[in-house]
């Protein structure tokens, strides 16, 4: 408000007040731009995710892909601690013989695709989605990586 008070003292010159206002507008525009960019990245990520995972041929792979898509959807809402993520999607695994192993396998596959990443603090894994994945992955690379995955129970977590 001192800038506005100085207008009278400076012979009603509004330049300093207008420059101050423009800095505020620029900061808000930058913040809005970052939010729009983040939402567009999320939409692109979802689009690529659905397009690639829906094309899987076998029913077994489609079921696994549905679980992985659910994991990605939860992570798109925000980063999750691994245990919290497991609790949010455990209903998808309850009918499996070894639900915890299947969950860890799905998370490992998504890490292998570079669709998600994690940070580790002591024994806590913080999982988050990599929004740039949608612009990095190609269809042929996705299916090649899918073909190279281990067939069964040979993967351990992290």
Mean of the pLDDT values across residues 124-151?
82
Domain ranges across the chain: 42-147
Architecture of domain 42-147: Orthogonal Bundle (1.10)
The predicted structure's pLDDT at residue 151: 57
% of the chain beyond a pLDDT of 70 = 86
Least confident interval from 22-31, 42-51, 118-127, 147-156: 147-156
CB atoms within 10 A of CB 110: 21
pLDDT digit string (tens) for 76-117? Answer: 999 999 999 999 999 999 999 999 999 999 999 899 889 999
**129, exposed or middle or buried, with CB in 10 Å at 0-12, 13-18, 19+?**
buried
């Amino acid at each position: 408000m001192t800038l506005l008070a100085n207008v009278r003292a400076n012979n009603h010159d509004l330049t300093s007040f207008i420059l101050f206002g423009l800095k505020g507008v620029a900061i808000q525009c930058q913040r809005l731009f970052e939010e729009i960019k983040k939402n567009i990245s999320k939409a692109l990520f979802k689009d690529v995710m659905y397009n690639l995972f829906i094309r899987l041929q076998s029913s077994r792979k489609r079921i696994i892909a549905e679980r992985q898509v659910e994991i990605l959807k939860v992570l798109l809402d925000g980063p999750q601690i691994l245990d919290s993520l497991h609790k949010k999607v455990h209903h998808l695994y309850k009918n499996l013989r070894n639900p915890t192993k299947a969950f860890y396998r799905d998370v490992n596959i998504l890490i292998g695709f570079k669709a998600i990443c994690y940070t580790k603090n002591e024994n806590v894994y913080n999982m988050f989605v990599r929004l740039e994945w949608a612009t990095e992955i190609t269809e042929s690379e996705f299916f090649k990586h899918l073909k190279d995955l281990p067939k069964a129970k040979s993967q351990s977590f992290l």
